Amino acid sequence: MCGIIGIVGAAPVTDRLIDSLKRLEYRGYDSAGVAAVVDGHVERRRAKGKIRALEAVLDQEPLVGTVGIGHTRWATHGAPAERNAHPHRAGRVTLVHNGIIENYAELREELKAKGHTFESDTDTEVIAHLLDHTLDSGLEPLAALKATLDRLTGAYALGILIDGEDELVMGARRGSPLVVGHGQGEMFIGSDALAVGPFTNRITYLDEGDYVAIDHRGARIFDAAGAPVTRPERIVSAAAALVEKGNYRHFMEKEIHDQPDACQHTLSAYVDAVNAATVSPGVDFTKVDRLQIVACGTASYAGMIARYLFERLADLPCEVEIASEFRYRQPALAPGALALAVSQSGETADTLAALRWCKTRGIQTAALVNNHESTMAREADVLFPTHAGPEIGVASTKAFTSQVAALTAIAVSAARQRGRIDAHEEARLASILLETPRLIAQAIATEETVRQIAGDIAKARDVLYLGRGAMFPLALEGALKLKEISYIHAEGYAAGELKHGPIALVDEATPIIVIAPTDELFDKTASNMSEVIARGGRIVLITDEAGAAHAPEGARVIVAPACDPVIAPLVFAAPIQLLAYYVAVQKGADVDQPRNLAKSVTVE
């Protein structure tokens, strides 16, 4: 999952390529590169590391041309190094790629046998050689591209320059997203609307298998069979361009603070505040007999939280499965099932594959996504949007709470449709949901206490998170958040599981974060805290005021606002995110771009 951009411009493009790559850095940041047509031939500049390293290279060796391509990389084949950075070059071809070519090894052997010499360890370089080889047979660039694509197995989004074709950028997509941007006498291709956001809001989304040629006259698009096709042009929302940090140090910090607004916007699509009722999300839940949620990472924890609500409120059997397992398990789904993909990006390869698997078997599909123009949004039968706005920090925060907010409202709507709650109860739950933004804001106000506690946690080697009921997935989420941005080993457990193994890990060096609002399970979690204390464990208790009164001696306490259990995961998420954030800051970690990760995982 890398980011790509291509521009056929009316003015020099290097600065704009860099601007776009900065917007795409959330997709990967191991290395970066740009290429442009300079005096009739293509030149490139590449650097290991983030875009700022590439900028330093460009300061030394400027690149001035009006047609160019750019790439920011998340390594799959070949270590992060300049020689593996894109654009890759072979003969007349210079290209950038997002995806994985599965048959690259056999193509590489074939091309080596024909005299091609490879300079990188990447799968991508083989595409450049194959295209160059095909051009040698005398085909025109587009015909050569089609012949090349026909030989590739795997996923790709491509941006291509050809020596001697000074005003042409070609692109292609299969399994990885690619958009075309239409400017004033200028044309663009990019991984998503954010990439071309500063230049145009007129976007065409390419379909699977499409390839395209852009020049000053516009775009010529062809389907996988090589037939010219017209794909609709859309105007994308200005939100796509909103990727500024404002006065915050990190995007993650900003996005944690954005949550009251993000939840408010999201809830406004699902809750009718005037009539205190839910808005039908476009699915007839009386005809659904099972809900199958598929997702990855944080989105899967949002799904796990939702399972408690769909089963408890709507009496609807609900399964949640990690998409990478689901897609290969041959699950038995009956026609009455609704498959729901949960994803911030709407592009996660495993989740998308799971969604498609369900679709091809005639199962009704829905996608709960934050990127409304994404592949999942376009392919699912029903779209459940979240309105968190662009999330840039790799660690998901406002997208997660917006997912949970939307899923909670949808569960209430399903409960009403299925006759499990009456209008009075629906109104009560709708009013509770509408309180969420205010309560999240109050929970964020624990920031200073959390920051102080973080100093202690930052010294730990291992951290355990415990929770019961819907706080269990939140414990998993807390552990994931800490792991991914502070590199501290952390595990989340159902508090009742502690005595079945994890209690062996308890010692004075291992902080135990307990998430326990006062609810019907609080006393049980209190017993688990006693078991920890009896073994010398150190507890950080995240609770409300009533729970704080029962905190075990010696525990450090973070007091979040009291709230109804239905929205407790939303309210208690903030202190957990802040804890991970401040631990990472204490450790001097790269909060927004943690090592080895990328925001959008569009490869398996």
| Binding site residues, ligand AGP, CB under 6 A | 296-299, 343-345, 348, 351, 394-396, 484, 600-601
Q: Which is nearer to ligand AGP, 495 or 591 (CB)?
A: 591
CA distances from 314 to 172, 309, 410, 435, 565 (A): 44, 7, 10, 21, 16
Q: Which is nearer to ligand AGP, 302 or 567 (CB)?
A: 302
**Token representation of residue 404:** 């949970």
Q: Which is nearer to ligand AGP, 118 or 248 (CB)?
A: 248
Q: Which is nearer to ligand AGP, 90 or 376 (CB)?
A: 376
Q: Which is nearer to ligand AGP, 375 or 436 (CB)?
A: 375
Q: Which is nearer to ligand AGP, 264 or 343 (CB)?
A: 343
Can you list the pairs that 554-561 forms with residues at least 24 positions away whose Cβ atoms lie under 8 Å? Answer: 555/514, 555/529, 556/453, 556/456, 558/446, 558/449, 558/450, 558/453, 559/446, 559/449, 560/442, 560/443, 560/446, 560/517, 561/439, 561/442, 561/443
3-state secondary structure string across 78-132: CCCCHHHCCCEEECCEEEEEECCECCHHHHHHHHHHCCCCCCCCCCCHHHHHHHH
Q: Which of 2, 263, 318, 358 is catalytic?
A: 2
User: Considering the complex, what minimum distance in angstroms separates the CB of residue 201 from ligand AGP?
Assistant: 23
Strand partners, 31: 48, 73
Determine whether 296 is an active site residue: no
User: Considering the complex, what minimum distance in angstroms separates the CB of residue 377 from ligand AGP?
Assistant: 12
**Nearest-CB residue to ligand AGP?**
297
Q: State the pairing for strand pair 489-494/462-467.
A: parallel
Q: Which is nearer to ligand AGP, 266 or 417 (CB)?
A: 266
User: Considering the complex, what minimum distance in angstroms separates the CB of residue 481 from ligand AGP?
Assistant: 6
Determine whether 599 is an active site residue: yes
Q: For residues 516 and 547, is the Cβ–Cβ distance under 8 A?
A: yes
SS3 content of the chain, % helix, strand, coil (to 5): 40, 25, 35
User: Considering the complex, what minimum distance in angstroms separates the CB of residue 343 from ligand AGP?
Assistant: 3
- Amino acid identity of 421? I
- The number of C-alpha atoms within 13 Å of 574 and in the hemisphere containing its C-beta is 32
Q: What are phi and psi of 261, to 5 degrees?
A: -65, -45
**Token representation of residue 362:** 């005639």
Q: Which of 22, 254, 398, 599 is catalytic?
A: 599
User: Considering the complex, what minimum distance in angstroms separates the CB of residue 117 from ligand AGP?
Assistant: 37
User: Considering the complex, what minimum distance in angstroms separates the CB of residue 492 from ligand AGP?
Assistant: 13
CA distance 276 to 423: 9
User: Considering the complex, what minimum distance in angstroms separates the CB of residue 353 from ligand AGP?
Assistant: 12
Q: Which of 71, 90, 78 is nearest to 31 (CA)?
A: 71
- Would you name the residues annotated as active-site residues? 2, 599
